[in-house]
């Protein structure tokens, strides 16, 4: 006779999908309440699916590092394959490891140092288009800027005027994925005439057009033996010709990797910057302290350098604290492929493991006054005493974000340059609501007034 499973504590609803509906309507509040009510590990049913929510750094480390081979990406990222295919974010096993080895050198510190000139130039160019006293949507501006930077630095492509639908297309895709995660969401895909399916197909086509344009431009340069930059896209094209280890990379696989880098390489940084500017605008004393550091580093300089950026210690603390409160990736999911032990509980094969940076980063055990924006908390002593997975905005383990060093450098640089030139002020009519799709976005954008610094 099969032994009864002992589940961790958790909500028990009389109606099927009641918890699922709460989760999909407001996942951040639902997970926060679960953690406060049931502690380090809880269990609930998402329809017939067993879901375990982990809220302890050691348990998260077990899943992401210690026993990572026992877990695969969960349904959320399987759904993302509709757009990303089998790129680095969604692929598994030996193929993922091979592609990561291929892509990793693009994000080594020595290489990132070479990207700073482009980052600086693109940021200054954007600032030059702004007008004194105007109101802008800082989220749109940061999305456009980070997209421009990742395209030029890593993929060797200049965004063109005809590419201006990228932001809208990406949002349509993310909202589509969210709908597919709902109970019975898979039924949506089976009715192609639904507007949501038509919208997704059109958005995907727009993004594919841009990605294939990048690939074709690079391929033509290779065929003509033109002088070329040593960017990631040329590396991937070369691997497509030369790879024997995993077999030749098909055009579809090449497209999947480029699409993944193109989209994942800008979306999270744009969100992190948006929330940072919002927090600075609502905390003038922190903005003033940041200004003091930026002025001490940037004053009397006509050209910024990589070494200047290393001196921006308080700027780094501001971004670290911003991503604590508003982590761009607000949750991670894994699926157990074998029975395993977490704490005192046996987790059956097929169960979903859910972990939330948003919830963990606001845990008062690790962060006193967790809802307060307080960059000065990030002293060396404080960081040394934090458990490893009490703060993990970029994930962790073998599947951690390959572009994390790039994102940090870019975010520090953009924050410092914009703050040296412009004061960004929250306006009373700005309705600030969180929109947790795949990333943590502002639901209604982030309209802010800009005025020149003296």
For 294-346, the three-class secondary structure string (H helix, E strand, C coil) is: HHHHHCCCCCCCHHHHHCCHHHHHHHHHHHHHCCCCCCEEEEECCCEEECCEE
pLDDT at 293: 95
Give the range with max mean pLDDT: 52-66, 153-167, 230-244, 392-406: 52-66
pLDDT at 77: 64
What is the rounded CA–CA span in Å between residue 163 and residue 199?
A: 17
Whether the CB-CB separation of 13 and 21 falls below 8 Å is answered with: no
Mean local confidence (pLDDT), 400-415: 90
Flag whether 375 is in a domain: yes
Domain at 335, CATH number: 1.10.630.10
Flag whether 388 is in a domain: yes
Phi, psi dihedrals of residue 260, rounded to the nearest 5°: -65, -50
1 pLDDT above the threshold of 50? no
Higher per-residue confidence, 123 vs 109: 123
Whether the CB-CB separation of 318 and 286 falls below 8 Å is answered with: yes
Mean local confidence (pLDDT), 375-401: 92
Flag whether 184 is in a domain: no
Flag whether 132 is in a domain: no
Flag whether 352 is in a domain: yes
Copy the structure tokens of residue 269: 């940084």
Flag whether 76 is in a domain: yes
Copy the structure tokens of residue 432: 């600030």
Mean local confidence (pLDDT), 238-260: 72
The two most distant CA atoms of the chain are separated, in Å, by 78
pLDDT at 111: 84
What is the rounded CA–CA span in Å between residue 432 and residue 434?
A: 7
Measured CA to CA in angstroms, residue 332 lies from 96, 356, 357, 433, 438 at distances of 18, 6, 8, 21, 10
Q: Is the dihedral of CA 52, 55, 56, 57 positive or negative?
A: positive
Confidence of residue 368 (pLDDT cuts 50, 70, 90): very high
390 pLDDT above the threshold of 70? yes
pLDDT at 2: 53
Total domains in the chain come to 1
Flag whether 366 is in a domain: yes
Confidence of residue 450 (pLDDT cuts 50, 70, 90): very high
Expressed as residue numbers, the domain containing 2 is 1-85+330-392
- Strand 135-137, strand 345-347: pairing: unpaired
Q: Which of 324-350 are b and which e, b meaning 16 or more Cβ less than 10 Å from the residue's Cβ?
A: bbbbbbbbbbbbbeeebebeebebeee
What is the rounded CA–CA span in Å between residue 271 and residue 142?
A: 8
Flag whether 193 is in a domain: no
């Amino acid at each position: 006779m099969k032994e009864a499973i002992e589940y961790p504590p958790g909500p028990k609803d009389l109606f099927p999908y009641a918890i699922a509906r709460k989760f999909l309507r407001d996942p951040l509040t639902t997970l926060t309440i679960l953690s406060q009510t049931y502690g380090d590990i809880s269990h609930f049913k998402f329809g017939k699916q067993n879901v375990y929510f982990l809220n302890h750094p050691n348990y998260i480390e077990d899943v992401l590092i210690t026993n990572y081979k026992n877990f695969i990406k969960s349904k959320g990222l399987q759904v993302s394959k509709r757009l990303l295919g089998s790129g680095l974010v969604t692929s598994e096993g030996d193929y993922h490891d091979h592609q990561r080895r291929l892509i990793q050198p693009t994000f080594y510190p020595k290489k990132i140092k070479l990207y700073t000139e482009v980052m600086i130039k693109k940021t200054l160019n954007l600032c030059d288009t702004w007008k004194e006293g105007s109101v802008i949507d800082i989220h749109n501006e940061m999305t456009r800027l980070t997209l421009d930077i990742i395209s030029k630095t890593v993929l060797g492509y200049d965004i063109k005027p005809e590419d201006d639908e990228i932001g809208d297309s990406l949002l349509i895709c993310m909202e589509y994925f969210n709908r597919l995660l709902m109970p019975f969401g898979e039924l949506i895909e089976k009715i192609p005439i639904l507007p949501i399916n038509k919208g997704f197909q059109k958005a995907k086509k727009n993004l594919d057009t841009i990605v294939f344009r990048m690939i074709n431009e690079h391929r033509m340069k290779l065929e003509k033996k033109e002088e070329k930059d040593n960017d990631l896209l040329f590396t991937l094209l070369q691997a497509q010709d030369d790879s024997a280890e995993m077999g030749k990379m098909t055009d579809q696989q090449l497209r999947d990797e480029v699409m993944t880098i193109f989209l994942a390489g800008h979306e999270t940084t744009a969100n992190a910057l948006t929330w940072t500017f919002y927090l600075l605008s609502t905390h003038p004393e922190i903005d003033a302290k940041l200004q003091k550091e930026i002025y001490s580093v940037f004053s009397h300089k006509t050209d910024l350098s990589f070494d200047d950026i290393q001196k921006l210690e308080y700027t780094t603390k501001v971004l670290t604290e911003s991503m604590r409160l508003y982590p761009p990736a607000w949750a991670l999911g894994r699926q157990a492929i074998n029975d395993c032990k977490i704490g005192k509980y046996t987790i059956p094969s097929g169960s979903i493991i859910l972990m939330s940076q948003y919830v963990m980063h606001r845990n008062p055990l690790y962060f006193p006054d967790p809802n307060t924006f307080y960059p000065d908390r990030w002293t060396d002593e404080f960081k040394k005493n934090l458990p490893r997975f009490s703060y993990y905005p970029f994930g962790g383990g073998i599947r951690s974000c390959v572009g994390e060093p790039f994102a940090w450098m870019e975010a520090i640089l953009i924050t410092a340059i914009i703050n040296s030139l412009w004061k960004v002020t929250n306006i009373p009519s700005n309705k600030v609501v969180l929109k947790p799709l795949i990333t943590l976005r502002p639901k209604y954008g982030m309209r802010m007034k800009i005025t020149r610094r003296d």
